[in-house]
Amino acid sequence: MAILAVENICKSFGGLQVLKGVTLEAEEGQITGLVGPNGSGKTTLLSTIFGLTKPDEGSVKFRGQTITGLPPHRVYEAGLAFSFQLPRLITQLTVLDNMILAARDQVGAGFSGALFLRRRWRRQETELAQKAMSILELLGLVHLALHPAGELSGGQRKLLEIGRALMSDPVMMLLDEPAAGVNPVLGRKIYQKLRTLRDQGLSFLIIEHKLEILLDFADRIYLMDFGQIVLSGAPKEVIENPVFYATYVGETKDAAFSS
């Protein structure tokens, strides 16, 4: 069953039509990949799904509910989390604090120090810390919990960003190039973690330029070109289709396979 259904999304910036009627579905419990050349509209599509960009036309349904045009915090509350291309961490704070901060908005924000609420607040903080530690363990970051986030490598920061998104107990995650800027070995490690999460029932829609990694982990791939989906299917079907290569004509094989 499709957990996310995007239908006929159109978006222009000024005179430039960036999305020209995009329709795609992501199945529950699967990793759905979104690929395509630079500037083809992938990030704009994710940003539209998450409510950061308003579409001119079209609809987005998540778990059967129309979420088109809802503000990001409402989309997030519905169970959809978005992890940004560039990690947005507070580098002076510890890894654990960054995790807890990601969840604070959900519970603690209103507890302005009233004495009778302190105990409850403290209990919630302890629960959040426990939850954060179990996510860090799953991501292989537990040994860094008390280190400043600024000490993490690029790949570890990406994992921490994913961990922060997991603090909201999402049912689906939108990721924009989780393996960008990290070496291929770490890139694969990141995807192994994502696969573990998928096996636990989480659904993903992932933009990725590192096709040689994505194709090994995705259940289904959509190929975007000039604001339209031009091909979709299982990874093997997609890379055997001449349309796939035609889309990347002009880019070298290296650009297509390891940007």
Ligand X SMILES: Nc1ncnc2c1ncn2[C@@H]1O[C@H](COP(=O)(O)OP(=O)(O)OP(=O)(O)O)[C@@H](O)[C@H]1O
Site string for Mg ion, 112-151 (x = CB under 5 A): ----------------------------------------
Site string for ligand X, 18-57 (x = CB under 6 A): x-----------------x-xxxxxxx-------------
Q: Which amino acid belongs to residue 155?
A: G
User: Residue 227 corresponds to which tokens in the numbers above?
Assistant: 């604001």
40 touching Mg ion, by CB under 5 A: no
* Residue at token pair 């994710």: 46
Closest to ligand X by CB, 68 vs 98, is 68
Q: Under rule CB under 5 A, how many of the chain's residues touch Mg ion?
A: 1
Closest to ligand X by CB, 40 vs 98, is 40
Closest to ligand X by CB, 82 vs 141, is 82
In the bound complex, what is the minimum distance in angstroms from residue 36's beta carbon to ligand X? 6
Choosing from 13, 66, 92, 126, the residue that interacts with ligand X (CB under 6 A) is 13
Which of 159, 178, 162 has the alpha carbon at shortest distance from 170? 162
User: Residue 211 corresponds to which tokens in the numbers above?
Assistant: 């096709």
List, edge to edge, every strand of the sheet that includes 172-176. 80-83, 172-176, 203-207, 31-35, 220-225, 228-233
Contact criterion met (CB below 8 Å) for 10 and 16 = no
Q: Which does 40 bind (CB under 5 to 8 A by kind): Mg ion, ligand X, none?
A: ligand X
C-alpha to C-alpha distances, 198 to 30, 53, 67, 128, 144, nearest whole angstrom: 6, 27, 23, 22, 24
Q: Which residues bind Mg ion (CB under 5 A)?
A: 43
Q: Which residues bind ligand X (CB under 6 A)?
A: 13, 18, 36, 38-44
